[in-house]
Amino acid sequence: MMKADATMQPHAGPSSKSDQTAMSNQPGGQSGDGIPGEPVLPEVLVNVVTPAQPVVGRVIESTLCTRGRKASGFVRHVAIDVSGTKLAGSFRAGQAFGVVPPGVDERGKPHKLRLYSIASPTSGEDGQGQVIATTVKRTLDEHWETHRLLTGVASNYLCDLSVGDEVQMTGPSGKRFLLPVAPEQHDYVFFATGTGIAPFRGMIKELLASKVASRIVLVMGVPYTTDLLYDEDLRRWTEQHPNFTYLTAISRDPGPDGAGSGYVQDRLVTHREQLEPMLRSLRTLVYVCGIAGMEVGLIRALAEHYDNEVVSQYVRVNPEAGPWSQWDRRVIGRSVRATGRLLLEVY
């Protein structure tokens, strides 16, 4: 959990699970690696609202955001009105907020807060920074020991809320997973799996609204076509904005776009013609968000299919890492480090 101090912080120190691994961005942005094209990230407010004194937001929308009701998971777009609280106007696209579920855990202690990515642009869902949305997936599983149904506390609490219900919130959190100060100076490749789309929905909305000429590619990975999130919106955006490209990577069926089944990293090969010039360009920033471990497949694929001139722009590889074919999560965690041009948020 984060430290409870409300400060303006320019990406200094770990802010989320992903920041705490070796496979993370070093604090310091532009000065970190001296990689050409490194972005300057904005200063952001963090922990304006702490778990000790959460604020109360009110749900104003809760809708399924999968492509079909036959999706393999239940994912909801939940929008919360935070007007009149310290969260209003204090967040930026890419940050997260905390949800404090009511009740106590099995040890009788109040439930701990869980983080949810803000799926809205910096101006919020309402254009005034008063409404925050997120994209939340119900955690449903079978308990490892009892075999009973395990329903995740916070995700199911959030998904069960109806319009008008109150929710205790904290935040914002996160200092590094942000759009740069000068967005027009960069092009963007966003890789999402599942609810990893949340921060990208906000960022892409913000970029498109600002009318930057930057090229923006989103690669969205889910198991089945019916699991695609915000699919209709994203397709509409591609029609409205020629600089925005939406690619899907469906791992367990052929997918809707004739690209064949595959994982997000497979698009580095199938869409090489489009992605290679971008990845080679010093303007490009690569953002990765979603299931922990997705970065392993992506980094391996980059190293397997692209030359060192490209790879070295996004990762620093220590010699002990050995050849890419031996890179697993442990090797990458220890010996491969993201440069300031590769921004990661995995959970």
Ligand X SMILES: Cc1cc2nc3c(=O)[nH]c(=O)nc-3n(C[C@H](O)[C@H](O)[C@H](O)COP(=O)(O)OP(=O)(O)OC[C@H]3O[C@@H](n4cnc5c(N)ncnc54)[C@H](O)[C@@H]3O)c2cc1C
- Residue 324 Cα to chain centre, angstroms: 25
Instruction: Tell me how far, at minimum, the Cβ of 37 lies from ligand X, in Å.
Output: 25
Integer Cα distance of 98 and 1 in angstroms: 10
CA-CA distance, 340 to 315, in Å (whole number)?
Answer: 9
Least Å distance, CB 251 to ligand X, is: 19
SS3 279: helix
Q: Which residues of 231-243 are buried (b: 16+ CB within 10 A; e: fewer)?
A: beebeebeeeeeb
CB-based contact 134:76 (threshold 8 Å):
no
Per rule CB under 6 A, is residue 139 in the interface with ligand X? yes
Tokens of 318: 């220590």
DSSP element (H, E) containing 64: strand 55-64
If one asks whether residue 77 binds ligand X (CB under 6 A), the answer comes out as no
Q: Which of 65, 88, 115, 169 binds ligand X (CB under 6 A)?
A: 115
Residue 225 within binding range of ligand X, rule CB under 6 A: no
Binding ligand X by CB under 6 A: which of 2, 16, 65, 220?
16
150 near ligand X (CB under 6 A): yes
HSE (side-chain half, CA atoms, 13 Å) at 342: 23
Residue 111: DSSP 8-state: P
Q: How far is the CB of 198 from ligand X (least distance, A)?
A: 4
Residues 286-325 that bind ligand X (CB under 6 A): none
Q: State which of residues 2, 46, 80, 198 lies at the interface with ligand X (CB under 6 A).
A: 198
Count of residues interacting with ligand X (CB under 6 A) = 26
**Contact partners, residue 59, CB within 8 Å, separation at least 6:** 78, 79, 80, 81, 161, 162, 163, 164, 165, 166, 167
Nearer to ligand X, 116 or 191 (CB): 116
Among 55, 87, 96, 217, binds ligand X (CB under 6 A): 96
Measured from the CB atom, the residue of 200 and 306 that comes closer to ligand X is 200
Among the listed residues 5, 142, 232, 328, the single contact to ligand X using CB under 6 A: 142
Residue 116 interacts with ligand X (CB under 6 A)?
A: yes
Torsion of CA 79, 290, 113, 106, to 10 degrees: 120
CA 113 to chain centre: 18
Q: Is 105 in the site for ligand X (CB under 6 A)?
A: no
Q: Binding ligand X by CB under 6 A: which of 25, 66, 90, 117? A: 117
Q: Give me the least distance between CB of 118 and ligand X, in Å please.
A: 8
Choosing from 41, 100, 136, 311, the residue that interacts with ligand X (CB under 6 A) is 136
Q: Which stretch binds ligand X (CB under 6 A): 56-64, 108-116, 273-281, 297-305?
A: 108-116
8 Å CB contact between 10 and 46: no
Alpha-carbon torsion angle 162, 50, 44, 9, nearest 10: -160
Binder to ligand X among 11, 114, 201, 337 (CB under 6 A)?
Answer: 114
With contacts defined by CB under 6 A, name the span among 55-63, 141-149, 226-234, 246-254 that binds ligand X. Answer: 141-149
Tell me: does residue 190 bind ligand X (CB under 6 A): no
Q: Which residues bind ligand X (CB under 6 A)?
A: 16-17, 96, 114-117, 134-137, 139, 141-144, 150, 152-156, 195, 198, 345, 347
